[in-house]
Amino acid sequence: MNFCSHCAAPVVSLIPQDDNRPRSICTSCGRIHYQNPKIVVGCIPIWETRILLCKRNIEPRKGFWTLPAGYLECNETTEAGARRETAEETGASVVALQPYRLFDIVHIGQVYLMFLARLQAPRFHATRESMEVRLFEEKEIPWSTIAFPVIEKTLRHYWHDRPENNFSFRLEQETGTMQKDD
């Protein structure tokens, strides 16, 4: 941040009194600008034995496959955000949301909360954000064109947990490098 969003004066990076880390502080009005992680919410939409993926029509990673997910909005619950993102990216409605994975992605300042969800009906379509939307069995997943490491990890966890029908909630820290040990 270079300028104050309140008065447009330059900001400097200093540790405020009674704080423990540098913050952007306005040189004119003294406002402290806190920068906090972004919350990303999304779903694994399930229909029978298949899951719904969407091929991104926007950057980053345009043309790559992902689960429907995006930034949580202010005044929105995580569940409502996951439903909204699923509708915006796939045209589908989901029900029975269950928290499944929480990823701390510290190096990019994001937290991902992924839900398991059931498609209300097998109705979905391409959208402004997704050039293609389709249901996949495990053997059909386009692993080489999955958009983001956290999405690949979520998918691998899902297919690993599915035979035992044991979808326990798990918290993980994503380090920025995807390890193929699952």
List the CATH number of the domain containing 74. Answer: 3.90.79.10
**How does residue 115 score in pLDDT terms, banded at 50, 70 and 90?**
very high
Give residue 182's pLDDT.
33
Q: How many domains does the chain have?
A: 2
Give residue 176's pLDDT.
64
Residue 180 lies in a domain: no
Is the pLDDT assigned to residue 29 strictly greater than 90?
yes
Contacts of 130 (CB under 8 A, 6+ apart): 54, 55, 56, 57, 68, 89, 90
Residue 23 lies in a domain: yes
* Six token digits for residue 62: 């345009």
Residue numbers of the domain that contains 25: 1-35
Three-state secondary-structure class, residue 38: strand
Give residue 174's pLDDT.
82
pTM: 0.87
Same domain, 76 and 54: yes
Is the pLDDT assigned to residue 156 strictly greater than 50?
yes
